[in-house]
Amino acid sequence: MLKDTFGRKIDYIRVSVTKQCNFRCQYCMPNTPFDAFDKDEYIPLDNVLEFLKVAIDNGIKKIRITGGEPLLRKDLPDFIAALRNYSKEVQLVLTTNGFLLQKSAKILKESGLDRINISLDSLKPERIVQISKKDGLENVLAGIQEALKYNFGLKINTVVMKGINSDEILDLFDYAKHRNITIRFIEFMENIHANHNLLGLKEKEILEIIKTKYDFETAKDQIIGPAKLYSCKDGYQFGIIAPHNDDFCQTCNRIRLTADGIICPCLYYQDSVDAKEALLSKNPQKLQSVLEQAVYNKPEKNQWDTTMEADKISARAFYHTGG
Ligand code: SAM
Ligand code: SF4
């Protein structure tokens, strides 16, 4: 079992399989050119698989595949199938913008994927264009319907931005609730790649809006993870991911592997472990060593400052770390 120096059990890895994306979200990489990334820098998924086998042997219970946009990778179903073949118990989950989900849901199910988180920031087509620079709403909604057909556990992730989609909190809530999908509203996290004019809504502001229509309370059974869960009277649960809150890091149980072979012990902390050589070698001792190093390096708290002073906000891109 992996434990960091602050006693936290580490049993979750987020694996980014590409930096590329077909969207250009305002909070992620609005100004990044589409040809900015070099595919050659990615570690082959065969090598990533060997690392993840070592991680599973060390007690990793959950692997999230993310990006960039992971569904852009044609070899993803084979990668998922190989992981599932190695372990029947590990939870395999995916985070996607949903644009390509309709045509991949079936093969993902057959490969052994358990759950999918889909980013959805608006139900208005023109807003999706404004937010992501892609006319993608129809595809994303069709992707959600298809994933429901295959009985994936689904969650919707919504980043709430003042004056952009903050008036759609209740509409998005109802969309998710009517389909019995958990929605999680995410506070916008400042970083230098995002649109600098964006302002996020904080947890309290989001809850106040939901309160105008629904009665809810803090859920009794909180899962370990970044989202704080709330229960409505009829039992429907939703979540808020509020990294601006002080207690956010206390139960952190994860590390991140980027597509170019860097292990990040924390999302908002510049130290990382360069695992490229170990990954390319497929040598189990070297893979064990970089895994242990990353867990050892995990800081107690993120080093995040929201003052937006250039030297303080995160230089790390969400499309690199996988969010
Ligand atoms: N492309 C996929 C997607 O959008 O779901 C996966 C990668 S994306 C980087 C992973 C998650 O990070 C998404 O849920 C996205 O909303 C979130 N994210 C990206 N930038 C963010 C930011 N600045 N603040 C909060 N969440 C962010
Ligand atoms: Fe792409 Fe996801 Fe970043 Fe949006 S948040 S630009 S969909 S990687």
d(CA 300, CA 6): 7
Determine the pLDDT at residue 247: 73
Terminal-to-terminal C-alpha distance of the chain: 24
Q: Tell me, using a 6 A CB cutoff, whether residue 99 lines ligand 2.
A: no
3-state secondary structure of 197: coil
Q: Which of 21, 8, 9, 195 is nearest to 95 (CA)?
A: 21
Residue 246's pLDDT is 67
Q: What is the pLDDT of residue 37?
A: 87
Query: Is the distance from the beta carbon of residue 106 to the nearest atom of ligand 2 less than 6 Å?
Result: no
CATH of 12-155+252-321, one of 1.10.10.10, 3.20.20.70, 3.20.19.10, 3.90.226.10: 3.20.20.70
Q: Give the integer Cα–Cα distance in Å for 42 and 257.
A: 11
CA distances from 60 to 3, 182, 252 (A): 11, 24, 14
User: Is 54 close to ligand 2, i.e. is its CB under 6 Å away?
Assistant: no
Nearest ligand, CA 16: 1
What are the two backbone dihedrals, phi and then psi, of residue 119, each rounded to the nearest 5 degrees? Answer: -80, 130
Which amino acid type is present at position 147? Answer: A
Give pTM, 2 decimals. Answer: 0.94
Residue nearest to atom 18 of ligand 1 (CA): 323
Annotated binding site for S-adenosyl-L-methionine: 27, 68, 119, 189
CA angle 251, 217, 115 (to 5 degrees): 55
Determine the pLDDT at residue 270: 66
The enclosing H or E element of 271 equals: none
Find out whether 70 and 95 touch, Cβ atoms under 8 Å: yes
What confidence score (pLDDT) does residue 161 get? 98
* pLDDT score for 277: 97
Pocket test for ligand 2, best of 132, 158, 165 (most atoms within 8 A of CB): 132
Question: What phi and psi values does residue 85 have, to the nearest 5 degrees?
Answer: -65, -35
Residue nearest to atom 8 of ligand 2 (CA): 68
Q: Which helix (H) or strand (E) holds 86?
A: helix 76-86
Q: Write out residues with Cβ below 6 Å of ligand 1.
A: 21, 27-28, 66-67, 69, 95-97, 119, 157, 159, 186, 188-189, 191, 194, 318-319, 322-323
Q: Tell whether ligand 2 has an atom less than 6 A from the beta carbon of residue 319.
A: yes
- The rounded distance, in Å, linking the Cα atoms of 54 and 287 is 7
Domain boundaries, the chain: 12-155+252-321
- The CA–CA distances, whole Å, from 24 to 67, 137, 204 equal 13, 14, 28
The annotation places the binding site for [4Fe-4S] cluster at: 21, 25, 28, 249, 252, 266
CA of 122 to the centre of ligand 1 (A): 14
Residue whose tokens read 């989001």: 206
Give the residue ranges of the chain where pLDDT is below 70: 246, 269-270, 303-315
